[in-house]
Amino acid sequence: MKKLKATIHKFSGHWPLKLRWENQRSRDYHASHVSSVSETWLIGKPEGAENFAMRYYKVGEEGFSRKEQHPYDHGILILHGQGLVHLGDSDHPISQGDVVYIPADMEHQLINTSQEPLGFLCIIPARREKNGAVVWADENIVFD
């Protein structure tokens, strides 16, 4: 039986606008149709998570995530800021404390509509199918 290990990434930032954690894996998220987004992986393969991964995203002033859809569902918790979440064919206002469930295969995008950063946690499956193979969600990502 595999021995499970617990992991704590101690908060080392300043609530609510400078969120940081010890031993984090961060990068500026560069992808087509993305503006002013950073990504921090908090829980994933290195922590031994078998079933889910947790990421923190920060979307800068007037920034937005990529409009995309995935074959898996995920959940989002808005930590700070305000904006819009595009779900399917409609947009919905979001702000601190809101929780969003995104079903599998639903088109979605988060848009910052304010002059303050929009920050949120995003929880996804730890592993997924990609090009016919099962891969870890945080595999082959180059962090800053």
> Which has the closest alpha carbon to 81: 54, 53, 57, 55?
57
User: 35 lies in which domain range?
Assistant: 25-136
- CA 137, chain centre distance (Å): 11
5 in any annotated domain = no
User: Tens-of-pLDDT digits for all 144 residues of the chain?
Assistant: 555 565 666 667 666 667 778 788 888 877 777 788 999 999 998 888 889 999 999 999 989 999 999 999 999 999 999 999 999 999 999 998 899 999 999 999 999 999 999 999 999 999 887 788 888 887 777 776
64: left (phi over 0), alpha (psi -120 to 50) or beta: beta
Q: What is the pTM of this model?
A: 0.84
* CATH label of the domain that carries residue 94: 2.60.120.10
6 in any annotated domain = no
Which of these is catalytic: 42, 110, 122, 124? 122
38 in any annotated domain = yes
Check if 122 is active-site.
yes
20 in any annotated domain = no
For residues 98 and 120, what is the distance between their CA atoms, to the nearest angstrom? 10
For residues 111 and 98, what is the distance between their CA atoms, to the nearest angstrom? 14
12 in any annotated domain = no
User: In degrees, to the nearest 5, what angle opens at C-alpha 48 toward C-alphas 120 and 130?
Assistant: 70
Is-cis flag, bond preceding 125, omega within 30?
Answer: no
For the chain, the domain total comes to: 1
